[in-house]
């Protein structure tokens, strides 16, 4: 695994060790145990009682529900069968980081209005400390607004990429695809990757100028391919670790469209 120059901490998410470049924090809440009956996974959660009305054409800030806060961008026109994109922000996972994910990674993507896009964020603590809340957010969004639970695309950038890759190992039954921009698994275990990712394509993206992450992301891609996992590797031309507004989001949406 790539060595991170900043102070590191290890969080336990559903039995998976997660390496994060952040200050030492309390241990995260463990993820829910995997659902034993596959048939239950395909059924959407029951409609919650605290759903916020849909606002189309905008990035809706949901702050008053049990699983909140998070941003959601609804498909236009609203479509209760739309696929869901769950994108985890980098850094501490605060509100500004989540807004940056929307503006730089997603908002200009072709076909974005055909998806329900969900971006969790944290207000009072580091998102890594409450990462398991992501699953409550996902259940709330599917329950309130609809969506095929078998077509949830998981993505993340930097620290959010670490969490996304750990989530896929811990709960592969919840997600259809995995996208890192960039992201890394918590440990080098290709056999475990192959088991979790069977039938689940992976997008390994990294800035062409991101010297700290590029080699590790490429090595992950090569190991996945060698293990029989469908994986693509893409370098973002002219971009560093965090992309700017010039980034071409179409590479993400081409991947999601192919697997929706």
Per residue in 41-52, pLDDT tens?
A: 445 456 888 999
Q: Is residue 246 part of a domain?
A: yes
Residue 105 lies in a domain: yes
Q: For residue 158, tell me if it sits in a domain.
A: yes
| Whether residue 153 has pLDDT greater than 80 | yes
Asked whether residue 3 is assigned to any structural domain, the reply reads no
Q: What is the pTM of this model?
A: 0.85
Average pLDDT value for residue range 65-73: 98
Q: What is the pLDDT of residues 113-152, one digit of tens each?
A: 999 999 999 998 899 999 999 999 999 999 999 999 999 9
Would you say residue 209 lies in a domain? yes
Q: Look at residue 31 in the predicted model and tell me its pLDDT.
A: 52
CA–CA distance, 257 with 109 (Å, rounded to integer): 11
Mean model confidence pLDDT for the chain: 88
Residue 1 covered by a domain? no
Domain count, the chain: 1
Q: Give Dmax (Cα) for the chain.
A: 47
For residue 95, pLDDT beyond 50? yes
* Structure tokens, 35: 């659902």
CATH of residue 160's domain is 3.40.50.1820
Is 136 part of a structural domain of the chain?
Answer: yes
Residues whose CB falls within 8 Å of the CB of residue 236, separated by 6 or more in sequence, listed in order: 181, 205, 206, 207, 208, 243, 247, 248, 251
- For residue 159, tell me if it sits in a domain: yes
**What is the residue range of 210's domain?**
8-258
């Amino acid at each position: 695994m790539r060595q991170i120059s900043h102070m590191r901490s290890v969080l336990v998410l559903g039995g998976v060790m997660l390496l994060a470049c952040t200050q030492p924090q309390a241990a995260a809440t463990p993820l829910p145990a995997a659902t034993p009956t596959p048939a239950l996974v395909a059924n959407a959660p029951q409609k919650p009682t605290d759903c916020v009305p849909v606002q189309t054409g905008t990035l809706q800030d949901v702050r008053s529900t049990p699983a909140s806060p998070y941003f959601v961008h609804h498909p236009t026109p609203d479509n209760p069968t739309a696929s869901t994109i769950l994108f985890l922000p980098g850094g501490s996972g605060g509100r500004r980081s989540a807004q940056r994910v929307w503006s730089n990674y997603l908002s200009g993507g072709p076909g974005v209005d055909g998806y329900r896009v969900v971006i969790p964020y944290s207000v009072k603590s580091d998102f890594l400390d409450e990462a398991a809340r992501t699953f409550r957010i996902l259940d709330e969004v599917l329950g309130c607004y609809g969506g095929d639970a078998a077509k949830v695309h998981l993505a993340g950038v930097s620290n959010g990429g670490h969490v996304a890759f750990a989530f896929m190992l811990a709960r592969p039954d919840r997600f259809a695809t995995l996208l890192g921009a960039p992201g890394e698994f918590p440990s080098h275990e290709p056999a475990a990757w192959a088991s979790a990712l069977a039938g689940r394509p992976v997008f390994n993206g990294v800035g062409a100028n991101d010297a700290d992450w590029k080699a590790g992301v490429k090595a992950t891609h090569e190991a996945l391919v060698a293990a029989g996992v469908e994986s693509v590797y893409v370098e973002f031309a002219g971009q560093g670790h965090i992309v700017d507004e010039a980034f071409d989001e179409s590479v993400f949406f081409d991947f999601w469209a192919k697997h929706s």
